[in-house]
Structure 1
Amino acid sequence: MIAMALTLYAHPFSAFCQKALVALYENATPFTVRPIDLGSEADAAALAALWPMRRFPVLVDGDTVLPEATVIIEHLDLHHPGPMPLIPRDRDAAIEARLLDRVFDNDILVPMQKVVLDAIRPAGARDPFGVAQARTALRTAYAWLDARLAGRAWAAGESFSLADCAAAPGLLYADWVEPIPEAFATLRTYRARLLARASYARALDEARPYRRLFPLGDPGRD
């Protein structure tokens, strides 16, 4: 049987695209990137033809079209498994990994994006109250994560998982927006461990040419 080629529609600077890329790189899964520039009408149309919500990443696996990074990683783990299982085989551990995945997406990436996107709004349309709420949400999430991750090598335990794929870009960009306090040594050390992981280091290097696009300015650090 001939294996179908995987194609990932993505942009390297997108946090959610990096999340999917980490999973692919972690298991050296063969795939092709279809770069998407949302400033290009042709690229936007190509993405909309696959996923009308026009969000990336989108994975095409033969006749199967999958949006959303979490769903893509679940699909890869089921249909293209490698030496590193990204969904723990133990059911309780899998629940913990999925919980942490949602926290990194909803409580780290979403408020981070609120602050970033507000910076590119017209001056009269900005939302300082919403930005303050987003920064508070980040600090709340930092405190919860610092306690939850105590004694763990990775987000859900001793093995790298779906949750870490989400955490790597989430904590990279969140720390640029609302620095993780020095008091949260567990979380800061975990972030450093993620940035040093070969799979994320590769995604991070691929994103470097686009750091000038960060609306709050390139912080000059990882």
Structure 2
Amino acid sequence: MTLTLYIHPLASFCHKVLIGLYENATPFETAIVDFADPGSAASLFDQWPVGKIPVLRDSARDQTVPETSIIIDYLQAHYPGPLRLLPDDPDAMLQVRLWDRFYDLYVSVPMQKIVTDRLRPAGASDPHGVAEARATLDMAYSMIETQLQGKSWACGEDFSMADCAALPALFFGHIVQPFAPDQTRLAAYLERLLARPSVARVIAEAQPWFTYFPYHDAMPARFRAAKP
């Protein structure tokens, strides 16, 4: 297999790239990284010493491609499929890149702050940082609610890289910081994302791992994995 994607099934940023791959039925294999296993982790660090996932390895072109947006860009350039996740029109492309970054930086990052704080040992929590993260999510939700007016997807009527970023951000985000009752466009957008076959596949593959999610008990029952 030419393409290998280093992932962990519970990692939200990995979900972003998986959606892009599944949208275009791009052939690839996964290498699950267990950071608790030095040997497994070493296979990732050999490719990308930063140690962040996902990382794409393209053996045919002898290329290692890190960072989610760069991976999706790379796939479109070298392994294009029927769906262009980055539009050709320059202005439309800028909007997709903007909202891709928005979901990563202002939804995914604060969501992860809230999640990881729950994993801190007793006495080492960061309530101020968590409060800031929740405020950032509220701000982001409000902006997204406005952005979605008259749109089916993040930037219009075409599914794009911004939607790949939106799904994991909003899926985990709405669990740790629920949407406001009047954010109906935002809630409906998440449901449209969840109904998309590529997204449904990602969620189904991740579901056995959800029991390890620190906010597992707050997950909607339809997604909650049974505890062993």
Structure 1 and Structure 2 fold alike (TM over 0.5): yes
Partner Cα separation in structure 1 for residue 166 and residue 173 of structure 2: 10
8 A Cα contact 1:211 1:218, kept in partner = no
Partner amino acid for 2:98?
L
8 A Cα contact 1:10 1:35, kept in partner = yes
Q: Which residue of 2 aligns with 1:94?
A: 93
Decide which of 45, 52, 55 is 1:55's aligned counterpart: 52
Query: Is 1:22 aligned to residue 19 of structure 2?
Result: yes
Residues 107-162 of structure 1: CA deviation (Å, up to 9, x unaligned): 00000000000001111111001101100100000000100111111101111000
Deviation at 1:220, TM superposition (A): 3.9
TM-score of the aligned structures, taking structure 1 as reference length = 0.96
8 A Cα contact 1:58 1:66, kept in partner = yes
Unaligned runs of 5+ in 2: 224-228
RMSD of Structure 2 on Structure 1 (CA): 1.0
Q: Which residue of 1 aligns with 2:179?
A: 180
Deviation at 1:40, TM superposition (A): 1.3
Query: Is 1:204 aligned to residue 206 of structure 2?
Result: no
8 A Cα contact 2:103 2:165, kept in partner = yes
Partner Cα separation in structure 1 for residue 43 and residue 193 of structure 2: 32
Deviation at 1:9, TM superposition (A): 0.5
Partner Cα separation in structure 2 for residue 107 and residue 14 of structure 1: 17
**Count of residue pairs brought into register by the alignment:** 219
Identity %: 47
Unaligned runs of 5+ in 1: none
Q: Which residue of 1 aligns with 2:76?
A: 77
2:215 aligns to what SS in structure 1?
A: coil
Question: Which aligned pairs between 1:83-162 and structure 2 lie closer than 5 A?
Answer: 83-162=82-161
1:59 aligns to what SS in structure 2?
A: strand
1:76 aligns to what SS in structure 2?
A: helix
Partner Cα separation in structure 2 for residue 108 and residue 155 of structure 1: 14
Residues 65-98 of structure 1: CA deviation (Å, up to 9, x unaligned): 0111111000011111111000011111100000
Partner Cα separation in structure 1 for residue 53 and residue 215 of structure 2: 22
Deviation at 1:216, TM superposition (A): 2.2
Shift in alpha-carbon separation, 1:191–1:215, aligned structure 2, 3 A: same
Query: Is 1:215 aligned to residue 214 of structure 2?
Result: yes
Query: Is 1:39 aligned to residue 23 of structure 2?
Result: no
Deviation at 1:215, TM superposition (A): 1.1
8 A Cα contact 1:9 1:57, kept in partner = yes
Deviation at 1:43, TM superposition (A): 1.1
Query: Is 1:169 aligned to residue 180 of structure 2?
Result: no
TM-score of the aligned structures, taking structure 2 as reference length = 0.94
Deviation at 1:218, TM superposition (A): 3.6
1:84 aligns to what SS in structure 2?
A: coil
1:7 aligns to what SS in structure 2?
A: strand
Query: Is 1:193 aligned to residue 192 of structure 2?
Result: yes
